[in-house]
Structure 1
Amino acid sequence: MTHPALLVLLGGALLRITVGSEVYLRYVKEGLRPMVIVTGAVLVLLGAAGLVREGRAWLRQPVLNHRRAEDGSYRVEPHAAHPAHEEEGEDGHGHGAGPRVAFLLGAPALALLFFAPPALGSYTASRDGAAAAVEQADYRALPSGPLTPMSMREFIGRSQHDSAGLEGRQVVLTGFVSRGGGGVDWHLNRLTVNCCAADARPLRVAVHGAGVAPAADSWVQVTGRWRAGAVDARSPVPHLDVLSVTAVPAPRNPYADRAPELAS
Structure 2
Amino acid sequence: MNRIAQGLVLVLLGAAALGSSAFSELYLNYVQAAFRPFLIAAGLVLVVLGALVVAADLRAAARGEDGEQGHDGHDHGHDHHGGPRVAWLLVLPVVAVFVVAPPALGAYTAAASGAAEAPDPSRVDLSEYRDDPFAEAGDGPVELQLQEFVSRAWTDEDRAMSGRTIELTGFVVPHPDGEDEGWYLARLQMACCAADAVVNRVLITDEPAPETDSWWTVRGTWDEPEGDLQSVRDHRFTVEEMHQVDNPPDPYE
CA distance in 2, matches of 1:22, 1:48: 26
User: Residue in 2 aligned with 1:82?
Assistant: 75
CA-CA distance at 1:34 after TM superposition = 0.7
Partner of 1:124: 109
**Equivalent residue number for residue 58 of structure 1:** 61
Return the offset for 1:95.
2.5
Find the counterpart in structure 2 of residue 180 from structure 1: 175
Q: CA deviation at 1:172?
A: 0.7
Secondary structure (helix, strand or coil) at the match of 1:202 reads strand
In the alignment, is residue 95 of structure 1 matched against residue 91 of structure 2? no
Instruction: Give the aligned CA root-mean-square deviation in angstroms.
Output: 2.6
What is the CA distance between 1:25 and its match in structure 2? 1.2
- Output the CA distance in 1 between the equivalents of 2:44 and 2:221: 49
- 1:158 corresponds in structure 2 to 152
The structural deviation recorded for 1:105 is 3.0
Q: Secondary structure at the match of 2:46?
A: helix
| Aligned match of 1:137 | 125
- How far apart are the structure 2 equivalents of 1:130 and 1:241? 19
Report the counterpart of residue 13 of structure 1 in structure 2: 16
Could you say what secondary structure the match of 2:103 adopts? coil
**Structure 2 residue ranges without an equivalent (≥5):** none
Q: Which is strand-richer, 1 or 2?
A: 1
Once residues 193 and 108 of structure 2 are traced to their aligned partners in structure 1, the CA distance between those partners, rounded to angstroms, is 17
Structure with greater helix share of residues? 2
Q: Give the equivalent residue in structure 2 for 1:75.
A: none
CA apart distance, 1:213 = 0.8
- Higher Cα Rg: structure 1 or 2? 1
Q: How many residues align?
A: 233
SS state of the match for residue 165, structure 1? coil
Q: Does 2:236 correspond to 1:239?
A: yes
Secondary structure in structure 2 of the residue aligned to 1:246: strand
TM value normalised by structure 1: 0.78
* TM-score, normalisation: structure 2: 0.81
What is the letter of the counterpart of residue 79 of structure 2?
E
The equivalent residue for 1:224 is 220
* Paired amino acid for 2:75: H
Is the CA contact 1:2–1:102 (under 8 Å) kept in the aligned structure 2? no
> What SS does the aligned partner of 1:228 have?
coil
* 1:112 equivalenced with 2:97 (yes/no): yes
Q: Which residue number corresponds to residue 202 of structure 2?
A: 205
**Identical residues among aligned pairs (%):** 35
Answer with 32-41 or 54-63: which moved more. 54-63
Distance 1:15 1:200, change over 3 A: same
Aligned partners of 1:27, 1:138: CA distance in 2, in Å? 26
